[in-house]
Amino acid sequence: MYFSAKEMLAQLEGSDKRICDLVIKNEVEISETTREKVFEMLEERYQVMYNSAHEALEKEIRSLSGLTGGSAKKMWEYCKKGNTICDNTIIRGAAYALSCLEVNASMGLIVAAPTAGACGILPGALLTTAEKYDIPHEQVLEALATASGIGQLIVKKATVSGAEGGCQAECGSAASMAAAAIVEMLGGTPAQAFDAAAIAMQNIMGLVCDPVAGLVEMPCAKRNASGVANALVSADLALSGIFSEVPFDEVIEAMYKVGKALPSTLRETALGGLATTPTGLAMKEKIYGNHAEASACTGNCASCGGCN
């Protein structure tokens, strides 16, 4: 077992083992399972991630609320035209992330990574990078294990819940996980992987969770798209040899403290930030009508639409 990056790095010192090796070994022990079974479960998750990252690229998928959808398809068409400001790797990843979020908002099948609200960043960043470098499939699965290890440390030291720590806890954690996974997949050292994870979290520290109408749609989808860019830039920074002056463990502790210091209005309650802008409130009204609270609904009222 491990409780910090420091501990993991100490366990890895002097060997050619990677973070993913420790994570898989630990999983075999605590879940009383086999390495083969772990890879089977990783493959199952990979497949769902792959499908959700592609499902909304060619056909427009609308959310359950009807408020959002179609962004992934737009981004995909834009990407195919070429001539984008960011390079193709980032744009593809951003389109994948949007697709995951649109599938999610339509009650489709996704993998929470670490949460449903941040489910686009890891598949987006990882798949686009694996495609660019033509990475063998098993190494992509190992990268998912690296990502899980980063997530495990964040859950142990802090939180991945938006209600507890804001968006930094969800999209920040997802970008951290993805950045470390990519560094290790591309042959970076465990120390560089933790640097990438630390940098990705620093980049959005303090980000609030302010979903319009309380839904996992606005601004979640766009934050997942930009989370891909955050993960990729952080991975490149670490691979270039730039390290994080503040080590990963301390960054995570700081993120937790910042999360605790956020007022509850900015932690997934839809009582602040974008949710309470005139536009945000108007969209809420559009869904729930005059029944600001869905509590009045019995499921039998045809006019409200707030309940079924």
Partner 1 sequence: MNISMFDILGPIMIGPSSSHTAGAQRIGKAMYNMISDKQLVAVHFILHGSFHLTLRGHGTDRALVGGVLGMNAYDPQIKDSLQIAKERGIEVSFEGADLGDVHPNTVQIIAQTSDGKTTSLTGSSIGGANIEIININGTPAKFSGKYPAVVIDHTDRLGIISHITSILAINQINIVTVLHSRENKGKEAVIMIETDTPIDASVKRELESMSAVHSVVTMERVI
Q: Please tell me the distance from the alpha carbon of residue 95 to that of residue 214, in angstroms, as a whole number.
A: 23
Of residues 216-275, which lie at the interface with partner 1 (CB under 8 A)?
216-217, 268-270
- Other C-beta atoms closer than 10 Å to the C-beta of 182 total 30
| Long-range contacts of residues 81-86, Cβ cutoff 8 Å, at least 24 apart | 86/229
Q: Which positions from 121 to 140 touch partner 1 by CB under 8 A, shown as an x/- string?
A: --------------------
Query: Do residues 132 and 93 make contact, with C-beta atoms less than 8 angstroms apart?
Result: no
How many residues contact partner 1, by CB under 8 A? 68
Whether a cis peptide bond, with omega within 30° of 0, leads into 211 is: no
Question: Distance between CA atoms of 208 and 195, rounded to whole angstroms?
Answer: 23
Contact flag: residue 55 with partner 1 (CB under 8 A): no
For partner 1, the binding residue among 8, 9, 56, 65 (CB under 8 A) is 65
Residue of 5, 113, 121, 143 that binds partner 1 (CB under 8 A) = 113
Q: What is the DSSP string of 60-77?
A: --B-TTSS-B-HHHHHHH
Binding residue (CB under 8 A) for partner 1 from 4, 129, 152, 168: 152
Closest distance between partner 1 and the C-beta of residue 253, in Å?
16
State the residue for tokens 């507890």: 164
* 48 vs 242 by CB, closer to partner 1: 48
Task: State yes or no: cis peptide before 219, omega within 30 of 0.
Answer: yes
Which one of residues 69, 93, 124, 151 is an interface residue with partner 1 (CB under 8 A)?
151
Convert residues 164-193 into a mask of x (bound to partner 1 by CB under 8 A) and - (unbound). x------------x----------------
Distance CA 178, CA 15 (A): 23
Which residues of the shown chain bind partner 1 in the complex (CB under 8 A)?
1, 23-24, 26-27, 30-31, 38, 41-42, 44-45, 48, 63-65, 103-117, 119, 144-145, 147-149, 151-152, 155-156, 159-161, 163-164, 177, 213-217, 268-270, 287-288, 293-299, 305-308
